[in-house]
């Protein structure tokens, strides 16, 4: 089903979403957050073998887009995926690639 007309602001936001998911580290972080409901930066960095500073940078971008939220528990900050649409986009993309 083709989209008849997309307003420019909506189109820009769609491009912004896909641009944010065009980075392998961010996709790996989102996928990890799908698998593990909530994680702190050090757990993400350790699991994905990515420097903590890079993980923090990517999480900040994902948070600014509204994909990821966080909550403080004592001294630790835990991050979680809060946008089900992003979860669905990633799941469908993985399924699509797996079908080929």
In a domain, 3, yes or no: no
Query: What token pair was written down for 42?
Result: 């050090």
In a domain, 2, yes or no: no
* Apex 16 CA angle, 21 and 67, nearest 5: 60
* Apex 22 CA angle, 67 and 87, nearest 5: 35
What global pTM score does this model have?
Answer: 0.87
The domain in which residue 74 lies consists of 8-99
Kindly report, residue by residue over 53-95, the tens digit of the pLDDT: 999 999 999 999 999 999 999 999 999 999 999 999 999 998 9
Please state, in angstroms and as integers, the Cα–Cα distance from residue 81 to each residue in 11, 45, 64, 97, following that order.
Answer: 23, 16, 12, 22
CATH of residue 51's domain is: 1.10.10.10
Number of structural domains (the chain) is 1
In a domain, 1, yes or no: no
Distance, CA of 33 to CA of 47 (rounded, Å):
11
């Amino acid at each position: 089903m083709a989209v008849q007309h997309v307003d420019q602001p909506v189109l820009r936001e769609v491009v912004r979403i896909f641009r944010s998911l065009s980075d392998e580290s961010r996709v790996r972080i989102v996928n990890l957050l799908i698998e593990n409901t909530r994680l702190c930066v050090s757990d993400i960095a350790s699991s994905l073998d990515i420097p903590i500073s890079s993980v923090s940078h990517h999480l900040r971008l994902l948070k600014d887009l509204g994909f990821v939220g966080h909550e403080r528990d004592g001294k630790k900050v835990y991050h979680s995926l809060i946008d089900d649409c992003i979860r669905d986009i990633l799941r469908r993309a993985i399924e699509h690639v797996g079908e080929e």
